[in-house]
Structure 1
């Protein structure tokens, strides 16, 4: 038995919490994760306030918010600053073996001893992409190697199944759909196909002639079910290796996903809750109670300090997040309202805002490609799907929330001694130019042409990686 605890962190990309049966979704998409949650703690209101991928993982793997990491954009320029330490770097100092799967070349993947990649984008000869099986072909041998070493290990695994293109293999592609996806009378994908920035990318993987958005939504759910089955392969290996009792397992995500909603089709931009609210499940036999649900608000920046406290490693890092260990023994749902917090996005639009338990304010820092209004305001209690913009009807609420947001920004800038990264990342789009002056300019400039282009946007060149 290892002297120290192993950690397996499933940092799943684009995992939408409300499409997991673990969280009450009506389709049985995650039965194996459901069983794991029954043996651990499920966090009901877990937020990733800065989307998309790059800032989300940076917060997950450092315990810092976007002011602490200085990372807000998908296309972050340069390495992550040396003023922060990654979880891998901390564990390396504690004589851990550390391996990262599916995340090489990203700023926040700094510090792992081993980097392994797998095919997570291109379809095979069947037209589908068995992403999770490709991952297992890499992960399971590495897991067995790590388990055979005397040192404890940290294994970080980035699944890509919930990230478009959604291409689960048979039978998962029709597990939740039994209609006619090519019905000419169905026009639910018409607006997507007319949206120039995304149309060619979506047509490169959505079947030719498909008209039904419910079919594409079902591909997402099928991808979750397929990934869930493959995750069980990994959990079975953990049991077979007799390391389950000494292994801390975490399942979470960098952000959620947009389906056929808000005109932000099958991506993860837009500061709506289906992108900001993500899963967090922790299982650790003997140290974490079984079957507990924590409903008080938690954040992605809390993950690293929580894991370090659970495995009894102390550091002098002044985390922005806080350990959740004190909440693990809650046996009833808390009535505590979600905290007020700052939210940011910098993928296809540069926006920020302020979220309370009742209201959400979204402010555009430059015109966006969807021609959305500069200010959006949603009453989350009356309008949980965020469909009715109340900015014009509630100017006083807009003013109050904007003042709270600006006061928070000023306070964090003073604390860190650095400007808000949302203000200084003016080349967030990677076009080597300044901010867009109009929505039409943004629409004409932002374009995903193919799966190849989408994959390039997800990864920095390895020569830029600082490990």
Structure 2
């Protein structure tokens, strides 16, 4: 049995043509979906990257594992927590990864016999590099039962696609550096500007047209799509395409100016928490199935364990997989086979990096409670009717306080049930260390002789740039 699990970092579902986008960003992903199953409403319960992947490989939400924050020095995942690569290796799979999450936390390397770090190159982590590292591994292990994790970062900032990929998504003759265009001013004068100046804006250049950044994102999606086509072609050449279970997912999406978030992945709005999930397994997963109901990241682990138990050959000892208790995820197989529409009627949401917030997402409503807004301006409570307002622009919390209170009560009960008397890790993070990304901005500001409070009063690009030059 062969499994390839593919993380498409920062890939927003609504930017794929298979999820309704009108531009040709993902023709090959669409083809894979037509050969298997596409989950129309899959959600990242915990964001961003570190907590999302921890949930995927444990089948447990952040409140269960205690991992709710990204980039925190306070977090630790005990080795006693069942971890998918560990489980599969114990059962007899050869396990490998082309990934760099180990640089975030050590637990992301657990369970792999072969861990290949993908960092490097002009584009930080290029999908072409991931393929160049993965293809020889596949050639060496194609005759074995294996689990391979591949992590593509192309749709993560900075967006630096090859030039030829940009033209189809940016209006011909339009000038991204037109001094008359002021659409970048809100981004350049945002509280988070000091961070993104170094990690994004300076790398792309003095862009004045915000539509150009959107085009760069679309171009990166298309570039990634081509790399996935190359991967699939290599599986065909090796003769293992038909035998391989392929699982593709976005760890979180990306906000492209919505909600005062400029090309980043924070906020519990659907732009960031609605992610693509696509699975293909010829002869085992029905082709062309689209699952309409709510599912979430933590459902992937129990789904893979069930797949192994169904299909594993004599070289795999399924009794060694164990039976992890306390999973928050549920197997997707009933939904895959048309016996259910999804796995959850309600998805709970959480973030603790740029902001600290919890939310709840149902078929119709989204409710968000913000505990620390970081560099953003947020109301304490937000309530959206997603049927009438899918872009989440009209906050109904004050107009419908009873419904808002009911959702808050559901969140409070859920938190209490998950913690089972343990301390709240989000509360600990805020009290003992603060928001990790606020600390990053504070460090950058301090290097320019500015304080957080001073910058909050007057966050102007020219002022920060001038302070950097003066301080230097």
Alignment correspondent of 2:77: 80
Q: Structure 2: how far apart are the matches of 1:442 and 1:389? A: 30
Partner of 1:398: 404
Give aligned pairs, total.
Answer: 427
Alignment correspondent of 1:187: 182
Q: How much has 1:431 moved relative to structure 2?
A: 8.2
Q: What is the match of residue 204 of structure 1?
A: 202
Deviation at residue 83 of structure 1 after TM alignment:
3.8
User: Contact 1:48/1:300 (CA < 8 Å) preserved in 2?
Assistant: yes
- Deviation at residue 151 of structure 1 after TM alignment: 3.1
Match of 1:341 among 337, 347, 360: 347
Instruction: Give unpaired runs (5+ residues) of structure 2.
Output: 310-317, 443-450, 462-472
For residues 281 and 266 of structure 1, do their structure 2 counterparts lie closer, same or farther at Cα, with a shift above 3 Å needed? same
Structure 2: distance between partners of 1:181 and 1:86:
46
Contact 1:369 1:443 in 2 (8 A): no
How far residue 288 of structure 1 moved from its aligned partner, in angstroms, is 0.9
* Alignment of structure 1 residues 194-233 onto 2, 5 Å: 194-198=189-193, 199-201=196-198, 202-208=200-206, 210-233=207-230
Paired with 1:342 and 1:167, the residues of 2 have a C-alpha distance of 34
1:324 to partner: Cα distance: 0.9
| Aligned twin of 1:9 | 5
Match of 2:329 among 299, 302, 321: 321
Over residues 297-335 of structure 1, what are the superposed CA-to-partner deviations in whole Å (9 max), with x where a residue is unaligned? 11100001101111214531122101111221229x94x
Change (3 A) 1:346 1:317: same
- Greater alpha carbon shift after TM alignment, 73-82 vs 24-33: 73-82
Give the Cα separation in 2 of the matches to 1:196 and 1:66.
27
Local SS of the residue matching 1:348:
coil
Which residue in 2 is equivalent to 1:350? Answer: 356
Give the Cα separation in 1 of the matches to 2:343 and 2:227: 36
**Kept in 1: contact 2:70–2:436 (CA 8 A):** no
Cα shift at 1:130: 7.6
Q: Is the 8 A contact 2:67 2:76 kept in 1?
A: no
Deviation string for 1:320-375 (max 9, x for gaps)? 101111221229x94x7962232111121111122222222211212431122222
Instruction: From the superposition, tell whether residues 428 and 43 of structure 1 become closer, same or farther in structure 2 (CA, over 3 Å).
Output: farther
**Aligned 8 A contact 2:354 2:438 in 1:** no
Q: Distance in 2 between matches of 1:84 and 1:215?
A: 44
- Determine whether 1:53 maps to 2:53: no
- Aligned 8 A contact 1:197 1:444 in 2: no
1:266 shift after superposition: 0.6
3-state secondary structure, aligned to 2:306: helix
SS in 2 for 1:184: coil
Quote the residue 1:20 is aligned against.
16
- CA offset at residue 144 of structure 1? 1.4
Q: Which is further off, 310-319 or 18-27?
A: 310-319
The alignment partner of 1:311 has SS state of helix
TM-score of the pair, normalised by structure 2:
0.84
After TM superposition, list the pairs within 5 Å mapping 1:244-393 onto structure 2: 244-312=241-309, 313=318, 315-318=322-325, 319-330=327-338, 334=341, 339-393=345-399
Once residues 113 and 343 of structure 2 are traced to their aligned partners in structure 1, the CA distance between those partners, rounded to angstroms, is: 41
Contact 2:13 2:253 in 1 (8 A): yes
Aligned-pair distance for 1:232?
A: 1.0
2:414 is aligned with 1:408: yes
Aligned to 1:465: none
Residues 248-303 of structure 1 deviation map (CA, whole Å, 9 limit, x = unaligned): 10110111111121111111001101111111111111211111111111110000
Residue pair 2:26, 2:221 contacting (<8 A) in 1 also: yes
- Which of 132, 139, 151 matches 2:134? 139
2:445 paired residue number: none
Alignment of 1:29-68 (within 5 A): 29-68=25-64
Take 2:60 and 2:289, find their aligned partners in 1: how far apart are those partners? 26
Secondary structure of 2:166's counterpart equals helix
Matched, 1:155 2:148: yes
Q: What SS does the corresponding residue of 1:363 show, helix, strand or coil?
A: strand
Determine which structure has the larger helix proportion and give its number.
2
Cα separation, 2, equivalents of 1:32 and 1:432: 38
Normalised by the length of structure 1, the TM-score is 0.85
Kindly state the Cα deviation for residue 59 of structure 1 after the two structures are TM-superposed. 0.9
Task: Assess if the C-alpha contact under 8 Å between 1:121 and 1:165 holds in 2.
Answer: no
Give 1:41 shift. 0.8
Contact in 1 for aligned 2:354/2:437 (Cα 8 Å): no
SS at match of 1:11: strand
